[in-house]
Amino acid sequence: MSDLATLEAEILASIAAAADEAALETVRVGALGKKGSVSALLATLGKMAPDERKAQGAAINAVKDKVSEALNARREVLKSAALDARLASESIDVTLPVRESPAEQGRIHPLSQVMDELTAIFADMGFAIAEGPDIETDDNNFTKLNFPEGHPARDMHDTFFFHPKQDGSRPLLRTHTSPVQVRAMLSQKPPIRIIAPGRTYRIDSDATHTPQFHQVEGLVIDKGSHLGHLKWILAEFCKAFFEVDNVTMRFRPSFFPFTEPSLEVDIQCRRDKGEIRFGEGEDWLEILGCGMVHPNVLRNCGIDPDVYQGFAWGMGIDRIAMLKYGIADLRQMFEGDVRWLNHYGFKPLEVPTLAGGLST
């Protein structure tokens, strides 16, 4: 066997033995690169006689062509093998359930959901949403609401006070959303029809109380407002919120400095195996307080009580959320436990509407 035939056999054997594309590239460079063995033979043609150059050139180019063809063929084989190996290592088990999208995995907190439900119900009745700051003045939180200085009713609120300012005033974290009603009466002329949902703060903590909680209060000021209107609004709200056809309500006398007369409202229910069902049964459950706005409050806010009268009510959003969705401990709402939120939370696109159902 001639030297050229031997070189050809060695190169083809190396190509066949290449285990991957990197090894095959090494063989290619060794044979056809600038300093490769076949390229070196081609470089010697210039020094040969014309007849010898013609014969040797044809033979060397034939070897080059065979090597190129072998390289291309082996490269395709290696590429196919590499693809098969990758497909095997990156295979997908189509029997597994499809992962939920981020929009499906996320959850709306029950308190946010209930806020939206309240808004939908009262907006349908023609109420506007009013908001105010969490840090309030003593005047807005107490004095204008008919809490005189030193009145024992102030002690009922367990207030978070800030350090006094230079002028002697002492800011506080609002203990109810009633200051929003004050701000509405000071800035608007009657008729007024608002609800004021928001955070409130009191020094208290147990299974049904937290230092920070949520309330929604409603206010109507007009010339002909009376308790009959208040009862209708509360009855319609309870039917819509608890999604029952009928509710029976009981109004009991109570005391609040900012209303006269003041009333506590109970709703008829049935307790069954730890659950509370509304619109049936023989039990009663207190859900809110209400009353006619005290004339002193109207005067303090620049409204003539001889011309206008109004009514107001307030309820704990956290409490009615617990009642509706069976949440046992109020403190769990603020612990940030993802497992709890996955259980009690709502999907982001489940927007509550009266037409489509509040909690469907």
Q: Label residues 102-115 b or e (16+ Cβ within 10 Å = b).
A: eeeeebbbbbebbb
What pLDDT does 358 receive? 62
| Band of residue 45 on the pLDDT scale cut at 50, 70, 90 | confident
How do residues 46-92 score in pLDDT, each as one tens digit?
777 777 777 777 777 787 888 888 888 888 888 888 888 888 888 77
Whether the predicted pLDDT of 42 surpasses 80: no
What pLDDT does 179 receive? 95
Tell me if the bond preceding 261 is cis, omega within 30° of 0: yes
How do residues 181-192 score in pLDDT, each as one tens digit?
999 999 999 999
**Residues of the chain above pLDDT 90, percent:** 37
State the average pLDDT for the chain.
86
Q: What is the pTM of this model?
A: 0.67
| Band of residue 357 on the pLDDT scale cut at 50, 70, 90 | low
Cα separation values, 331 from 69, 210, 216, 274, 340, Å: 76, 7, 19, 19, 12
Q: What is the mean pLDDT of residues 261-281?
A: 82
| Band of residue 356 on the pLDDT scale cut at 50, 70, 90 | low
Greatest mean pLDDT among 43-57, 191-205, 266-280, 344-358 lies in 191-205
Give me the helices (H) in the chain, please.
3-17, 21-32, 37-43, 50-89, 102-105, 110-124, 138-141, 178-187, 227-242, 295-300, 317-325, 338-344
**Residues of the chain above pLDDT 70, percent:** 95
Lowest model confidence (mean pLDDT) among 193-202, 238-247, 292-301: 238-247
| Band of residue 360 on the pLDDT scale cut at 50, 70, 90 | low
Q: What is the mean pLDDT of residues 131-153?
A: 88
Rounded distance, CA 111 to CA 335, Å?
Answer: 13
| Band of residue 355 on the pLDDT scale cut at 50, 70, 90 | low
CB atoms within 10 A of CB 151: 13
- Please list the residues that pair with 265 across neighbouring strands: 251, 288
